[in-house]
């Protein structure tokens, strides 16, 4: 197995909460027991040609393994899950459903959560923000209510823990500070179950060490 290098923020703006997207890649690598190296990168360097050659949109994380370079956490986690056991079931239908949940996390659940984060973080000072915020929050609550009903009293989205849960839990973590996650006790418990996994704890500790060293 070739050595794996990912990129992460040199100075994460998330306060050490593990919200930056490298955390989900670290978590996947920890779940399958793959060691990895981290190259820390500044906001300026992220937009420069060397990084753009790895990530056309100038973001983190990237993933390098031999002469393979990937970006987009969904694709990176899928790549890891396909090559190592532990993140996708063997049964073909269960596997396809787990992959479906990975897409649901990044394609259905994450966009309104990001929109809410941006509305608060970047547009808080705009005159129209007060009026718009409730609309943005409703767009988060609709899929949250639907996800909550689907999960019911299950531990994970479809039987055993999978890469679909890994992506979903990490996407939901960004909602915690808004208070909206706690409106859905089974989803709050689901996220806590994810955070309690030893692999998540190792990933969280690793990103926190970077944060602490830089602040």
Per CB under 6 A, residues contacting ligand GSH are: 20-21, 46, 59-60, 72-73
Using CB atoms, what's the residue nearest to ligand GSH? 59
| Closest to 191 in 3D by CA, of 130, 128, 109 | 109
Minimal distance in Å, beta carbon 4 to ligand GSH? 16
Angle between helices 22-32 and 73-83 (to 10 degrees): 0
**Nearby residues of 50 by Cβ (< 8 Å), 6 or more positions away:** none
Is 40 in a helix, a strand, or coil?
strand
Minimal distance in Å, beta carbon 104 to ligand GSH? 14
Minimal distance in Å, beta carbon 185 to ligand GSH? 27
Minimal distance in Å, beta carbon 158 to ligand GSH? 21
**Which one, 43 or 149, has the nearer CB to ligand GSH?**
43
CA angle at 112 for the pair 17 and 149, rounded to the nearest 5° = 90
**Which one, 8 or 136, has the nearer CB to ligand GSH?**
8
d(CA 199, CA 201): 5
**Which one, 20 or 175, has the nearer CB to ligand GSH?**
20
């Amino acid at each position: 197995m070739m050595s794996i290098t990912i990129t992460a923020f040199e100075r994460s703006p998330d306060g050490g909460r593990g919200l930056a997207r490298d955390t989900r890649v670290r978590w996947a690598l920890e779940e399958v027991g793959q060691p990895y190296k981290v190259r820390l990168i500044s906001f300026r360097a992220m937009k420069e040609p060397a990084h753009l050659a790895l990530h056309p949109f100038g973001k983190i994380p990237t993933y390098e393994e031999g002469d393979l370079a990937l970006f987009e956490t969904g694709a990176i986690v899928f790549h890891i899950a396909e090559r190592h056991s532990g993140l996708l079931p063997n049964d073909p239908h269960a596997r396809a459903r787990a992959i479906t949940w990975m897409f649901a996390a990044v394609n259905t659940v994450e966009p309104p959560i990001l929109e809410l984060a941006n509305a608060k973080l970047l547009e808080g000072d705009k005159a129209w923000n007060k009026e718009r915020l409730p609309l943005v929050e409703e767009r988060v609550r609709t899929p949250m209510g639907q996800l909550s009903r689907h999960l019911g009293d299950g531990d994970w989205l479809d039987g055993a823990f999978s890469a679909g849960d890994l992506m979903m839990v990490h996407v939901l973590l960004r909602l915690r500070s808004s208070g909206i996650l706690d409106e859905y006790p089974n989803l709050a418990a689901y996220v806590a179950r994810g955070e309690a996994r030893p692999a998540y704890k190792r990933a969280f500790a690793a990103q926190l060490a970077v944060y602490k060293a830089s602040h």
